[in-house]
């Protein structure tokens, strides 16, 4: 399965994506607001990527984001209705995240019956909050100390996008 946008290709992950995914998942800037610490080794990313590939076979809906044949990020849902995305910092600020997430949202709403898509974002992550806001996500809740990264507790802002009624 693939989803083409004006500039990007969203496709299922494969093991040959390991180096590109590691470049993202080991990058402290990219991982600043992610739910895990930066990956310490290629082996950690390999296990994560293998789990991502296996999860798609078990019902997840995750994609890598390609720009001109280069993997620059990921987008999708480990378990619907919650979606997530990450992009290598070299590609921030050019609209790629918005383009990829918009394409994924359209795909998820067209291919599932989920009544709502959700996202859990660190409230300090202004860029991700802006992407989701541009796509119509609205705040539906907040919680403090939702996960521990190293020795830092992080908070969550929960966002939702309800499926529009048909007719």
Residue 149 CB neighbour total at 10 angstroms: 16
CA–CA dist 164, 120 (Å, integer): 21
pTM equals 0.93
Confidence (pLDDT) at 59: 76
Tens-digit pLDDT profile for residues 99-125: 999 999 999 999 999 999 999 999 999
Tens-digit pLDDT profile for residues 115-157: 999 999 999 999 999 999 999 999 999 999 998 888 989 999 9
Contacts with 67 (C-beta within 8 Å, 6 or more apart), sequence order: 7, 8, 91, 96
Can you spell out the DSSP letters for 93-157?
Answer: TSSHHHHHHHHHHHHHHHH---SEEEEEE-TT-HHHHHHHHHTT-EEEEEEEEEEEETTEEEEEE
84: β partners = 76
């Amino acid at each position: 399965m693939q989803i083409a946008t004006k500039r990007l290709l969203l496709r299922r992950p494969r093991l040959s994506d390991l180096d590109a995914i590691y470049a993202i998942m080991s990058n402290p800037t990219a991982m600043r607001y992610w739910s895990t610490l930066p990956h310490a080794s290629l082996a950690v990313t390999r296990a994560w990527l293998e789990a991502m590939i296996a999860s798609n076979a078990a019902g997840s809906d995750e994609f890598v984001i390609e720009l001109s044949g280069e993997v620059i990020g990921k987008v999708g849902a480990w378990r619907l209705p919650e979606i997530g995305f990450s992009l290598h910092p070299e590609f921030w600020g050019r609209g790629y995240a918005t383009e990829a997430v918009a394409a994924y949202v359209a795909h998820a709403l067209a291919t599932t019956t989920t009544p709502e898509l959700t996202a859990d974002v660190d409230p300090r992550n202004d860029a991700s909050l802006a992407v989701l806001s541009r796509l119509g996500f609205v705040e539906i809740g907040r919680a403090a100390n939702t996960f521990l990264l190293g020795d830092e507790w992080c908070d969550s802002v929960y966002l939702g996008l309800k499926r529009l009624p048909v007719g």
